[in-house]
Amino acid sequence: MAVIYLVRHAQASFGARDYDNLSALGEQQARRVGDTLADVKADVVLSGSMRRHRQTAELAGFAAEVDAGYDEFDHEQVIVAHKPAYRVRPVMLADLARTGNPKRAFQDMFAAATQRWIDGGDGYTESFQAFADRSEAAVRRTAERLGKGETAVVFTSGGPIAAVVSRLLSGGDGLWAKLNPVTINTAITKVVSGHRGLTVVSYNEHVHVGAELLTYR
């Protein structure tokens, strides 16, 4: 069988104007996952096209080829489609601050925003169905490149990983909304490819992260 390791990127700069850049903690996470994968003989190394994907791969010690099929969905567009006023960032920050618990308020708002996207609301350049389709297509494309016994390491995001796992485990997208929020930065998901197709062996493995580096966003 061939093996595909799907690695979620390290912590990006959540809350900053430029989210797509690793935080200082994220840089530590990326080096840690690199240590964990040091003994893996990778025949194919891929990453999405986002900066946080490439930075994680580089700090982990891998030279990755870009496959944009592994890109995350546009979370900012998903938020704005749900609450158009949040196109103006200070408006969103002020609204969240008024709740007294901005982090919890953001999580609740984002869950509602992604559910609207899943349900097929308008205002998106990429529908949820299209996103899940391209995520699945990316991992199947990777599997096709591997020979028997070969290994791929892919640096991507939580959304595509959750989409792939949801489809492989349930045959559909029903698990995505539950899996996506709990995908840990630099967690590793293992998928094997054999005569029975693609099978999830493990999901969101993060023992290597340690409590001191554990983050979800």
pLDDT at 15: 65
- pLDDT reported for residue 16: 63
Q: Is 185 left (phi over 0), alpha (psi -120 to 50) or beta?
A: beta
pLDDT at 65: 98
pLDDT score at 180: 96
Residues of the chain with pLDDT under 50: none
Query: In what helix (H) or strand (E) does residue 52 lie, and over which residues does it extend?
Result: helix 51-59
**Is the Cβ–Cβ distance between 173 and 166 less than 8 Å?**
yes
Can you give the pTM of this predicted structure?
A: 0.94
Give residue-wise pLDDT tens across range 112-153.
999 999 999 999 999 999 999 999 999 999 999 999 999 999
Question: What is the DSSP code string of 59-106?
Answer: HTT---EE-GGGPPP-HHHHHHHH-GGGGSHHHHHHHHHHTS-HHHHH
Where are the domain boundaries for CATH 3.40.50.1240 in the chain?
2-72+127-213
Q: Does domain 2-72+127-213 have CATH number 3.40.50.1240?
A: yes
CA separation for the pair 72, 212 (Å, rounded): 26
Which pLDDT score is estimated for 217?
85
